[in-house]
Amino acid sequence: MNDVKVLDKEFTLSISESDLQARIASLGTTLNKDYKGRDPLVVSVLNGSFLFTADLVRHLDWDPEIQFIRVSSYKGGMSSSGEMQILLDLKTPIQGKDILLVEDIVDTGNTLEWLRTYMMNRGAASVNLITLLFKEEAFQAKTPPEYIGFNIPNEFVVGYGMDYAEHGRSLPAVYTLKS
């Protein structure tokens, strides 16, 4: 299945299911090494990262507390705006904790930057971010993600948790908008 249609748009395969899963396993190995002896709180940034978080945490050799946060800047279209709003907040204090933020994709970096500040203001000891996809060319923030699954071109993608107008999330692979 190299081409898919989501609502009115055509997409073509960008990263296969097996490439995704192999990379996620290797990210897990890296995290297990880097966080050895620590117990970071995993914070999954909804909605797009639900599948990545689910697959990633099953490669971790510690049993992390997992929390979810949802912020909105992205209005269901195909570009993100600058304004940030908390739609679902953390349920436990994060004072003094190491945080591992899990994102589906970092584009401009606005969300990442905002979340880092938010977590540090709430007393986190450290905040690192792991993202499955990174659009390096679109990135405008100060600090890039600490862990990156794949660098991708500045093109709109769907699948593996990521949506086009709330559809396409259940696709097991990542697809790019056909031009």
**Positions 85 through 104 that interact with Mg ion (CB under 5 A):** 103-104
CB 134 within 8 A of CB 151: yes
Binds 101: which of Mg ion, ligand 5GP, none (CB < 5-8 Å by kind): none
Neighbours of 115 (CB within 10 A): 21
Binders in 105-144 for Mg ion, by CB under 5 A:
none
- Among Mg ion, ligand 5GP, none, the one that 14 touches (CB under a kind-dependent 5 to 8 A) is none
Contact 65/87 with Cβ under 8 angstroms? no
Residue 109 interacts with, from ligand 5GP, Mg ion, none (CB under 5-8 Å by kind): ligand 5GP
- Summarize as ranges the residues that interact with ligand 5GP (CB under 6 A): 48, 73-74, 80, 103-112, 156-158, 162-163
Positions marked catalytic: 107
